[in-house]
């Protein structure tokens, strides 16, 4: 068997998340159905670097699967894209080592979050960015973001029902860039907890419009209490941008 690693992108608007769920349209289901067609009815399971929720997008999700076929690597995207819907694309493929694992071998990820900061929402961007109508103090948001850099227990910045025991993660960067009427949050780290990016963004937005102080982010990191952080930002602004590996 050959192990193939692919980089894929998808528009999460019309998916109930990445992972297969009964009677729901998911990214994993669509990819496995495409692989089944390519393999003439043979079931092929897919493993991803991580799951994304309903409405969340991916620019550079990584998956792997095993196949008895040994076609040129460049032919895999063509073969799969011919069987996939327009809201999923396979961008590239390569033959990986047999023990390569898309999830367990990750060394880091980058997420981005888009916020439309304008008085009125934009009908053409409503599925691909969150909308905030009030004025934001970007300098204070950047001050707050600085507290998040480094290695911390991010218990306050993950969903309360997460099953992960070890909530210590390292963030290398939390950047906030202004692009005309949009804010782009760029977060890079060695790993992310469930809803971590969305809660961080929601918290920084609350700093931006004066609901909380920049120092409250430091307080939340110290107390590890979910109630000390902000609300969870909506899913449609979030993008899994890239996944890093050592090889």
pLDDT in tens, 27-63: 999 999 999 999 999 999 999 999 999 999 999 999 9
What is the domain extent for residue 153?
108-244
For residue 101, tell me if it sits in a domain.
no
Instruction: Report the domain count for the chain.
Output: 2
Residue 119, token pair as written in the block: 């008085």
Residue 163 confidence class, pLDDT cut points 50, 70, 90: confident
Which residues sit in the known binding site for substrate?
Answer: 111
Residues 154 and 115 in one domain: yes
Residue 5, token pair as written in the block: 């690693």
Residue 23 clears pLDDT 90, i.e. is over it: yes
Residues 112 and 90 in one domain: no
Residues 116 and 219 in one domain: yes
Instruction: Give the model's pLDDT for residue 137.
Output: 98
Helix (H, G, I), strand (E, B) or coil at 30: helix
In this predicted model, what pLDDT tens digit does every residue of 216-230 receive, in sequence order? 999 999 999 999 999
For residue 103, tell me if it sits in a domain.
no
CATH code of residue 169: 3.30.70.660
Q: How far apart are CA 16 and CA 225, in angstroms?
A: 29
The dihedral through the CA atoms of 67, 71, 74, 78 has a sign that is negative
Q: How far apart are CA 2 and CA 69, in angstroms?
A: 7
Please name every residue paired with 15 in a beta bridge, in sequence order, or none if there are none.
none
Helix (H, G, I), strand (E, B) or coil at 42: coil
Burial class (CB in 10 A: 0-12, 13-18, 19+), 98: exposed
Q: Which of 11, 53, 87, 218 is catalytic?
A: 53
Residues 88 and 176 in one domain: no
In this predicted model, what pLDDT tens digit does every residue of 178-206 receive, in sequence order? 999 999 999 999 999 999 999 999 999 99
Which residues sit in the known binding site?
Answer: 111
Residue 161 clears pLDDT 90, i.e. is over it: no
Active site residue 53: yes
């Amino acid at each position: 068997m050959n192990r193939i690693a692919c980089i894929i992108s998808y528009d999460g608007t019309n998916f109930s998340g990445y992972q297969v769920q009964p009677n729901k349209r998911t990214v994993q289901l669509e990819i496995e159905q495409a692989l089944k067609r390519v393999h003439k009815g043979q079931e092929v399971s897919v493993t991803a670097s991580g799951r994304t929720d309903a409405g969340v997008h991916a620019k550079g999700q990584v998956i792997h699967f095993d196949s008895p076929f040994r076609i040129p690597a460049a032919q895999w995207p063509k073969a799969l894209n011919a069987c996939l819907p327009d809201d999923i694309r396979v961008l590239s493929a390569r033959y990986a080592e047999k023990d390569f694992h898309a999830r367990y071998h990750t060394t880091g990820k980058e997420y981005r979050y888009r916020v439309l900061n304008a008085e009125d929402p934009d009908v053409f961007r409503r599925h691909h960015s969150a909308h905030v109508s009030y004025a934001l103090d970007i300098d204070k948001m950047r001050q707050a973001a600085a507290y998040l850099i480094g290695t911390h227990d991010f218990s306050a910045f993950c969903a309360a029902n997460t099953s992960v025991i070890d909530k210590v993660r390292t963030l290398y960067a939390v950047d906030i860039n202004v692009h005309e009427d949009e804010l782009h949050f760029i977060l890079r780290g060695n790993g992310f907890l469930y809803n971590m990016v969305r809660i961080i963004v929601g918290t920084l937005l609350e700093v931006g419009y004066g609901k909380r102080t920049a120092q409250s982010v430091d307080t939340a990191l110290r107390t590890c209490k979910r109630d000390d952080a902000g609300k969870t930002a909506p899913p449609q602004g979030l993008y899994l941008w890239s996944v890093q590996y050592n090889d």
